[in-house]
Amino acid sequence: MSTLHILYTAELPPALSRLWSEGDALLLAGAAVTLALQPALTLPQPCLALVDAVQARGLSARWPSAIALLDAAGWVALAVAHDKSLSWS
């Protein structure tokens, strides 16, 4: 059973690593998109981000190519592709 973890805060919750399973994905939303620019931080993979949150914070020019950007339709498709979702705020 796969889970889409949706992170809204600019901190990676310690419990995330305990709850992470094969097939899971991490979606960065809101302030969480700033985590992608912290070189010392290793984010679980696959990791994706909402394009609106990246653009709103002026991060597009520095955005790492390894983290795909999703629009609202992509977010819905990602949610449908997983058995459940868990929001971290």
Residue 35: CATH number of its domain: 3.40.1260.10
pLDDT at site 11: 94
The amino acid sitting at 51 is V
pLDDT at site 69: 98
Structure tokens at 58: 């002026």
The rounded distance, in Å, linking the Cα atoms of 59 and 37 is 9
pLDDT at site 21: 97
Q: How many domains does the chain have?
A: 1
pLDDT at site 78: 97
pLDDT at site 2: 97
User: Per residue in 29-81, pLDDT tens?
Assistant: 999 999 999 989 999 999 999 999 999 999 999 999 999 999 999 999 999 99
Which helix (H) or strand (E) is 84 found in, with range? strand 84-88
Q: What is the mean pLDDT of residues 3-23?
A: 96
Helix (H, G, I), strand (E, B) or coil at 59: coil
Q: Which domain holds residue 80?
A: 3-88
Query: What sections of 1-89 are H helices per DSSP?
Result: 15-19, 51-56, 72-81
